[in-house]
Chain A
Amino acid sequence: MAVVTATETGVRPSRAGRRPSIPGWVGTVPFLAYVGVFLLLPAGIVIVDALKNSSGGWQFSAITELGNPLVRGYFIGSLKLCVITSVSGAVFGAILAYAVASGNPDGVVRRMYLAGSGVLAQSGGITLAFAFQALLGPVGLLFHASWFYDFPWGISLIYAYFQIPLMVLVFMPAIDGLKVQWREASENLGASAWQYWRHVGGPLLAPAFLGSTLLLFANGLSAFATIEAWESQVAYTVPQQISISLSSEVGLSNINYADVLALGMMIMVVVIMTGYALLQRRASRWLR
């Protein structure tokens, strides 16, 4: 390890003696403390609520709710939507990011794309759904897309509007990290553009690409204002059903059910992240 190497060469800063006595994870304490209070505590409250029945006793039968076919349908709907929008958003976003990154690093175009992507990445909700309805809906300004109200196609198009800019923003630093020398070296050795991307650029970018795709997936998962405004008559995704369970005024409100669904979402993400971790290990194998 690098630490040992430095010792062996005899070049030691005067503070060296203090270092090994503090265990590494202590440095992560400030972060863990903050996240503990403002994230884990609320998440914990939700989980505990999911496992309690209305009189306050523990009730693990709530978990079996997750096996209910109706509930499975919500999760499959969410999964379909998130996979489609994250993969397509990642691919198109990567292309756009490359186009922006390959320009003048101090230029106006890059800055405008940066600012624009920032704004659009966080857009969404009623106005976005409405704008698309105005363009492609039944009285569309452009044309009437008969698939506009089909799940998941219409809503995927709308989601792409903020997934792609998000990808641009989180992936561009990785593209910036591709040193121009590597490209020139590969060309000098006779590689074509395709070979460069296949053997050098692609593998180098793969970990960041996977990570960004994961972010896009999670981003699409909990969004619900947009899909509610797109159509609100059928709950296709988990957040829509959670919203109904929390705010239904016809007596179908069930906070416990909403908490169980939220718990299901967290479990789903744990599963996805495990698969992602395995993929990452493989993708960055040769980098270690």
Chain B
Amino acid sequence: MAKLIAAAKKEGTLNVIALPPTWANYGNIIKAFTTKYGIKVNSANPDGTSQQEVNAIKQENGTAAAPDVVDVGQAVALVNTTLFAPYEVSTWTSIPATQKQSSGLWYEDYGGYMAVGYSSKFGTITSLNQLLGPKFKNAVALNGNPTSANAALNGVMMANLAEGGTAGSIAKGVAFFHKLKTAGNFSPVSATGASIKAGTTPVVFNWDYLNLPTYVGVSNWKVFVPSNAVLGGYYAQAINKNAPHPAAARLWEEFLYSQGAGGGQNLWLQGGARPVEEAAMTSGKTIDAAAAAKLPPVSGTPVFLTQAQNTAAANYLAANWAKAIG
């Protein structure tokens, strides 16, 4: 470890990509890393998607600006393993076996459950069917386009589960949004902090850690996860095989998976996301209990999409989404 720190300090820089500062507390994580090790972090393209991160690896290959590490959605990690370098962090055993690739090419980092965030002016929402009512005209929005954005696809899938569908077929979810659209309640605008603040999108389907009032920037924001539709999703870390700063990249991973009070896992927890080593940290008492208590309560068994289910959903959406919404 000491040798790794020395080598990383010698490199002096780390290139990261697509890490919005307000997403799962990344702003503070980057600052903490720089303060601790004195390594400068270049954060490029904060609004990029997972696919763009991988595109950047391919396009910038061999240059000093190529990303060293990526934080991508499951689907993207699984198909791009040829770009990654295997690495096992020192806390490798704390990561559940189902949440990492066996030879260390990728490993999940944090996740959350799909939730509905809404302005308190609507009262309290306990069921998705309430969203079909007249007071939600032009109000309900997704985070992106489901044929393109991971968060949006999971939003539709969550509606699917709430409407009685299964993880294997997203048809009921698309039908629900079609009903929203016919009722005039669906907003075609992608929800962003600005649109929420302006009142253009007062109801948003998004990951629970992105539906925090502090993230959203509006004080009267409430969140609910339907009890019969607990859909979880984790993101994954990977190191670029041809990283311009390989030692800094590995040190970054070590930092992210460290379980100390100021370590990556707890910092993510403070951002409202569930760290992947949560189980190990709870039993090892290294978890930030106060932050853990603030997570929105979930009842029911969480569902995680498999690769096959993800692909089936994406294909169904590609064929039917535009028709349902257009």
The smallest beta-carbon distance between A156 and chain B, in angstroms, is 16
In the complex, besides A149-B188, A234-B326, 20 extra interface pairs with C-beta distance below 8 angstroms are A130-B194, A133-B198, A139-B198, A230-B189, A231-B189, A232-B144, A233-B142, A233-B321, A234-B145, A244-B147, A248-B51, A249-B72, A249-B75, A250-B73, A250-B149, A250-B150, A250-B313, A250-B317, A253-B51, A255-B55
Judge if A62 is at the interface, Cβ distance under 8 Å: no
Judge if B169 is at the interface, Cβ distance under 8 Å: no
**Chain A contact residues: over half helix, strand or loop, or mixed?**
loop
Query: Is B79 in contact with A251, judged by CB distance below 8 angstroms?
Result: yes
Q: Which residues of A contact B137 (CB under 8 A)?
A: 138
Judge if A22 is at the interface, Cβ distance under 8 Å: no
B52 partner, pick from A229, A247, A250, beta carbons under 8 A: A247
Binding site for B on A (CB under 8 A): 126, 130, 133-134, 137-139, 149, 229-235, 243-244, 246-253, 255
Query: Is A234 in contact with B75, judged by CB distance below 8 angstroms?
Result: no
For A127, give the chain B residue with the smallest CB separation. B194
B49 partner, pick from A230, A235, A248, A251, beta carbons under 8 A: A248
Query: Is A249 in contact with B325, judged by CB distance below 8 angstroms?
Result: no
Query: Is B52 in contact with A233, judged by CB distance below 8 angstroms?
Result: no
Interface size class of B (residues with CB under 8 A): 35 or more
Show 15 A/B contacts (Cβ-Cβ < 8 Å), sorted by A.
A229-B189, A231-B189, A234-B325, A235-B147, A247-B51, A248-B148, A248-B149, A249-B76, A250-B73, A250-B147, A251-B76, A251-B311, A251-B314, A252-B315, A255-B55
Judge if B240 is at the interface, Cβ distance under 8 Å: no
Judge if B24 is at the interface, Cβ distance under 8 Å: no
Query: Is A249 in contact with B199, judged by CB distance below 8 angstroms?
Result: no
The smallest beta-carbon distance between B265 and chain A, in angstroms, is 24
Q: Which residues of B contact A149 (CB under 8 A)?
A: 188
Give bound CA distance, A264 to B194, whole Å: 35
Q: Which residues of A contact B199 (CB under 8 A)?
A: 139
A235 partner, pick from B76, B314, B322, beta carbons under 8 A: B322
Interface centre among A137, A138, A250 (most CB of B within 10 A): A250
Query: Is B188 in contact with A231, judged by CB distance below 8 angstroms?
Result: yes
Judge if B310 is at the interface, Cβ distance under 8 Å: yes
Task: Give residues of chain B (45-84) contacting chain A, Cβ–Cβ below 8 Å.
Answer: 48-52, 55, 72-73, 75-76, 79
Q: Which residues of A contact B313 (CB under 8 A)?
A: 250
Query: Is A250 in contact with B148, judged by CB distance below 8 angstroms?
Result: yes
When each residue 293-326 of chain B gets 1 if its CB lies under 8 Å from chain A and 0 otherwise, what string results?
A: 0000000000000000011011101100110011
Judge if B206 is at the interface, Cβ distance under 8 Å: no
